[in-house]
Amino acid sequence: MSVEITRLANGLTIATETMPTLESAALGIWVKAGARDERPNEHGIAHLLEHMAFKGTSRRTARQIAEEIEDVGGDLNAATSVETTSYYARVLKNDVPLAIDMLTDILVDSRFDEAELEREQQVILQEIGAAEDTPDDIVFDHFQEAAFKNQIIGRPILGTRQTVKSFTPDDLRRYLARHYGPDRMVVAAAGAVSHKAVVEQVAAALGSDATPAPVASEARTPASYVGGEYRQSRELADAQMVLGFEGRAYYARDFYASQVLSLILGGGMSSRLFQEVRERRGLCYAIYAFHWSFSDSGVFGIHAATGEDELAELAPVIIDELIEAANGISEAEVTRARAQMRASLLMSQESPASRAGQIARQLMFNGEVIPNDELIARLDAITAPRLADLAGRLFTGSTPTLAAIGPVSRLPTLDALGSRLDAMPRMKVAAGA
Amino acid sequence: MSVEITRLANGLTIATETMPTLESAALGIWVKAGARDERPNEHGIAHLLEHMAFKGTSRRTARQIAEEIEDVGGDLNAATSVETTSYYARVLKNDVPLAIDMLTDILVDSRFDEAELEREQQVILQEIGAAEDTPDDIVFDHFQEAAFKNQIIGRPILGTRQTVKSFTPDDLRRYLARHYGPDRMVVAAAGAVSHKAVVEQVAAALGSDATPAPVASEARTPASYVGGEYRQSRELADAQMVLGFEGRAYYARDFYASQVLSLILGGGMSSRLFQEVRERRGLCYAIYAFHWSFSDSGVFGIHAATGEDELAELAPVIIDELIEAANGISEAEVTRARAQMRASLLMSQESPASRAGQIARQLMFNGEVIPNDELIARLDAITAPRLADLAGRLFTGSTPTLAAIGPVSRLPTLDALGSRLDAMPRMKVAAGA
């Protein structure tokens, strides 16, 4: 495995990893701008822009975009997250130049036709409805909103029906000009690709004045984790619950330790929560922990879904497991978590799509691609006592966030759950101060 | 690419494909028995058995199963479908022997402990609740039930709360003994594996008398597609709709042509339904066509989700597109669909998990692994006129099936939609008789 990286004079980064035995490639353009880079009155525009990128350029209608990539059996797609937006393709070897041509075309020369915009706004209204109808999806929106109350970073990425309908082609152009500068883009490719050929073609397409110059990169409002409760009674078979705390930023000292802790608490069949909640008590079908990082903050949470009666029992059990973690993590658990992270790292690098995404994210967030040896060394440096200490700090260091929808009347209040957290070993908290 | 296949005297088939550059492997045991092999009073037992396989053997407790595989960073999982059940693992190269040991252990020596069973029954009740709460999941259960009315093949795989709770360890043992004979199993592995080593280890574990001998393979009741309507008003933002027809069995002459037709109608961004319904009319976020095959029948359907008002317009548009397809398919569409199938075939073969699954399914359903050249030749033989002819036969050859949940009051009835189908070119129907 070896990643080749080229930085162009305009700030654009291009990285490739050639996987010699493959007949296909995955490639994309990652932009370091997402939903949190919207202005207050732009709610949903980052996601709308991502949709509109497929709706026609000077050289291609929306239909031609769809047909041209599928004519070669390829696939174009895109995704918007809190801090990034990505546009990517999966193609066979010989079609890499076509994919680069299309991805760069839609980024620098999209037309934002009025009629296309109007239809796409309708489509996103249906997408908002679909999210509302999916309980284990929408509960995370409520969680993020409660964790980052009244902040742009806490808003649902899709926007609201009202805001989505309000945007004009000029609104899209303004957001694009403000955020899609070459210095905020990474082109990454993995599989059957040649670095030299990718660099030459991308430079020709994005390295010239055709790229919209960013007016002035707007500084993000720093995220401020708040915490609190959101609860909505809804007629569902299962109640959905997400309980969480302030997590760690990508650049934080505790970033890797937080990832390992989430694995030990609720990362697989052998994790503490799975064993205690599902295997020993039969309380739910699925439970897991997660740690999501942003550039200046993060959230550490646990998701579970279960029936009304089971929920009343389940929530305190989760709190008790958090306290147990602060009381001690075993060496066997740390060894297992390291093995899991190492294996998932190696396996994901055998998939061109996963690998291209990894390379792009590391370049965006760390400015470099971290070699496996170094990643593994960072994991190896994490000890059991440090993880227990981190648990104590994480689970008492912020106001908890609780989001619940469904038959939730028997779920204890956030205050009741919070006071159960008082049993958390206090000396550990001091140690982390 | 070359698959090595060994058939043991007891009927077990073992197939591997060595992918020399990989550091990991995917492997599993596929059993040619699923939900439709249940007896009338066994509703949900195939899926319950799949869950109980992870709940302890003579040599390992449930917890040990979870810990042993995750100690090496591996992953065990399983899935139950209408006609098959699969148990599979993802591991690094050196852990292939462990994965084989565990997969064979849970298949031949599971204990079905009473207390474990009771807890797992509770877990499945939560899983049933989760399915009911996911509209774009449960609508397919209703579709299958209406398509195969009052038949075992039409029942939801999870079972009902009542049936799931009713099963005893002996019920599980009886189902297992009846269906899990070595002659109905395929072991498939892809990635960093050696055929000889896999065969030796699997033969030692499954080739002896330890394998439960099948009492007598019970013949399946032949599936009889019925069709009809299921409609449920529910307070949701979007209405979910699946409209379908009788499809083709795996072994049918029209199997590949049906797959190609579903791609042309609703397989990607350039497909007819996506272009007409989403791109030209902005009526929904997602729409796609599917063709699912069983050993003796199949269903061809279209899924869409959209708001109440849009649904009333959308349903007739779908019918019109079906009629259009019978009126003619263009050469360009056929060429594109072939390119899509060829590319997705090649790309999936670069992933060990996809490849192991492909090999297993081809061996179960065709008794052989079909070489790429031959698959591509079969696709190349499908012409545009044949596809139009097939569309005419598919969309008039059976009573349509309509399943809809959500705000569905404005959706036309199945009868109204059906009579719109009268515009289907009749001569095509005759041609296919």
Q: Do A285 and A305 form a contact (C-beta atoms < 8 A)?
A: yes
* B429 band by pLDDT with thresholds 50, 70 and 90: very low
Would the CB atoms of A305 and B350 count as touching at under 8 Å? no
Higher-confidence residue of A62 and A216: namely A62
Q: What does A335-354 look like in DSSP terms, one character per residue?
A: HHHHHHHHHHHHHHTTSHHH
Give the separation between CA A302 and CA A289, rounded to whole angstroms.
Answer: 4
In angstroms, what separates the C-alpha of A408 from chain B's closest C-alpha? 14
Position B50 scores a pLDDT of 98
Query: Is B420 within 8 Å of chain A by CB?
Result: no
Return the domain boundaries, chain B.
3-205, 228-421
Would the CB atoms of A62 and B346 count as touching at under 8 Å? no
Position B285 scores a pLDDT of 87
Of residues A316, A303, A311, the one with CA closest to residue A267? A303
Position B428 scores a pLDDT of 46
Give the separation between CA A118 and CA B176, rounded to whole angstroms.
Answer: 56
Query: Is B365 within 8 Å of chain A by CB?
Result: no
The tens digit of pLDDT for each residue in A101-111 reads: 999 999 999 99
Residues 6+ apart with CB under 8 A from B392: B326, B424, B425, B426, B428, B429, B431, B432
Query: Is B218 within 8 Å of chain A by CB?
Result: no
> What is the average pLDDT value for chain B, to the nearest integer?
94
The count of other CB atoms within 10 Å of the CB of residue B408 is: 21
Candidates A126, A274, A278; nearest CB to B238: A126
Give me the mean pLDDT over the A248-273 stretch: 96
Q: Is the dihedral of CA A127, A133, A134, A135 positive or negative?
A: positive
Give the separation between CA B422 and CA B323, rounded to whole angstroms.
Answer: 9
Q: Do A124 and A51 form a contact (C-beta atoms < 8 A)?
A: yes
Q: Is A70 annotated as catalytic?
A: no
Position B286 scores a pLDDT of 87
Name the catalytic one among A17, A38, A42, A50. Answer: A50
Candidates A235, A238, A268; nearest CB to B126: A238
pLDDT of A213 strictly over 80: no
The tens digit of pLDDT for each residue in A371-412 reads: 999 999 999 999 999 999 999 999 999 999 999 999 999 999
Share of chain B above pLDDT 90, in %: 91
The tens digit of pLDDT for each residue in B362-399 reads: 999 989 999 999 999 999 999 999 999 999 999 999 99
Residues 6+ apart with CB under 8 A from A403: A139, A140, A142, A143, A146, A229, A230, A231, A240, A241, A242
Position A217 scores a pLDDT of 60
- Diameter over CA atoms, chain A: 65
Position A314 scores a pLDDT of 93
Q: Do A279 and B62 form a contact (C-beta atoms < 8 A)?
A: yes
* B347 band by pLDDT with thresholds 50, 70 and 90: very high
Share of chain B above pLDDT 70, in %: 96
| Cα distances (angstroms) measured from residue A340 to each of A260, A378, B68, B73 | 9, 14, 12, 4
The tens digit of pLDDT for each residue in A34-55 reads: 999 999 999 999 999 999 999 9
Residue with tokens 């670069």: B350
In angstroms, what separates the C-alpha of B204 from chain A's closest C-alpha? 28
Q: What are the structure tokens assigned to A222, written together? A: 């720093």
Lowest mean pLDDT across A125-134, B159-168, B209-218: B209-218
Q: Do A231 and A201 form a contact (C-beta atoms < 8 A)?
A: no
Number of H helices, E strands in chain B: 17, 11
Give the separation between CA A5 and CA A211, rounded to whole angstroms.
Answer: 21
Give me the mean pLDDT over the B8-15 stretch: 94
Amino acid at A186: V
Q: Do B85 and B107 form a contact (C-beta atoms < 8 A)?
A: no
Task: Residue window 241-270, chain A: list those with CB within 8 Å of chain B.
Answer: 268-270
In angstroms, what separates the C-alpha of B128 from chain A's closest C-alpha? 9
Give chain B positions within 8 Å (CB) of A270.
63, 66-67, 70-71
HSE-up (13 A, CA, CB side) for residue B92: 15
Give me the mean pLDDT over the A138-158 stretch: 98
Give the separation between CA B51 and CA B60, rounded to whole angstroms.
Answer: 15
pLDDT of A241 strictly over 80: yes
Fold match, B3-205 / B228-421: yes
Amino acid at B301: G
Q: Which superfamily does A228-421 belong to?
A: Metalloenzyme, LuxS/M16 peptidase-like (3.30.830.10)
Q: Do B289 and B267 form a contact (C-beta atoms < 8 A)?
A: yes
Candidates A65, A73, A285; nearest CB to B344: A73
Give the separation between CA A367 and CA A13, rounded to whole angstroms.
Answer: 10
Q: What are the structure tokens assigned to B83, written together? A: 């006609």
Would the CB atoms of B123 and A351 count as touching at under 8 Å? no
Give chain A positions within 8 Å (CB) of B348.
none
* B219 band by pLDDT with thresholds 50, 70 and 90: confident
Which residue in chain A is spatially nearest to B332 when comparing CA positions? A71
| Catalytic (active-site) positions of B | 50
Which residue in chain A is spatially nearest to B71 when comparing CA positions? A336
* A216 band by pLDDT with thresholds 50, 70 and 90: low
pLDDT of A430 strictly over 60: no
Query: Is A232 within 8 Å of chain B by CB?
Result: no
Q: What burial class does residue B425 get, using C-beta atoms within 10 Å of its C-beta: 0-12 exposed, 13-18 middle, 19+ buried?
A: middle
In angstroms, what separates the C-alpha of B300 from chain A's closest C-alpha? 22
Q: What is the distance between the terminal CA atoms of chain A, rounded to a whole angstrom?
A: 40
* B217 band by pLDDT with thresholds 50, 70 and 90: low
Of residues A420, A7, A427, the one with CA closest to residue A203? A7
> What is the average pLDDT value for chain A, to the nearest integer?
94
3-state class of A4 per DSSP? strand
Interface with chain B: mutation pick from A52, A68, A70, A336, highest number of B CBs within 10 Å = A70
Position A209 scores a pLDDT of 53
Residues 6+ apart with CB under 8 A from B115: none
Phi and psi at B233, nearest 5°, equal -75, 130
Lowest mean pLDDT across A387-401, A409-423, B173-187: A409-423
Query: Is B275 within 8 Å of chain A by CB?
Result: yes
Position B140 scores a pLDDT of 98
Would the CB atoms of A350 and B132 count as touching at under 8 Å? no
3-state class of A224 per DSSP? coil
Give me the mean pLDDT over the A354-380 stretch: 94
Position B329 scores a pLDDT of 98
Helices (H), A55-134: 62-71, 96-108, 114-132
* B423 band by pLDDT with thresholds 50, 70 and 90: confident
Give the separation between CA A204 and CA A50, rounded to whole angstroms.
Answer: 23
Residue with tokens 């399983």: B78
pLDDT of B199 strictly over 90: yes
Strands of the B239-246 sheet, one edge to the other: B228-233, B401-406, B239-246, B298-306, B286-293
Give the separation between CA B98 and CA B73, rounded to whole angstroms.
Answer: 12
Interface with chain B: mutation pick from A113, A288, A347, highest number of B CBs within 10 Å = A347
Residue with tokens 């020399």: B20
β-partners of residue A13 are A7, A186
Would the pTM count as exceeding 0.90?
yes
Interface with chain A: mutation pick from B238, B288, B348, B354, highest number of A CBs within 10 Å = B238
In angstroms, what separates the C-alpha of B216 from chain A's closest C-alpha? 34
pLDDT of A426 strictly over 70: no
pLDDT of B214 strictly over 90: no
Position A428 scores a pLDDT of 46
Q: Which superfamily does B3-205 belong to?
A: Metalloenzyme, LuxS/M16 peptidase-like (3.30.830.10)
Position A207 scores a pLDDT of 78
Query: Is A132 within 8 Å of chain B by CB?
Result: yes
pLDDT of A431 strictly over 80: no
User: Which helix (H) or strand (E) element contains residue B361?
Assistant: helix B352-366
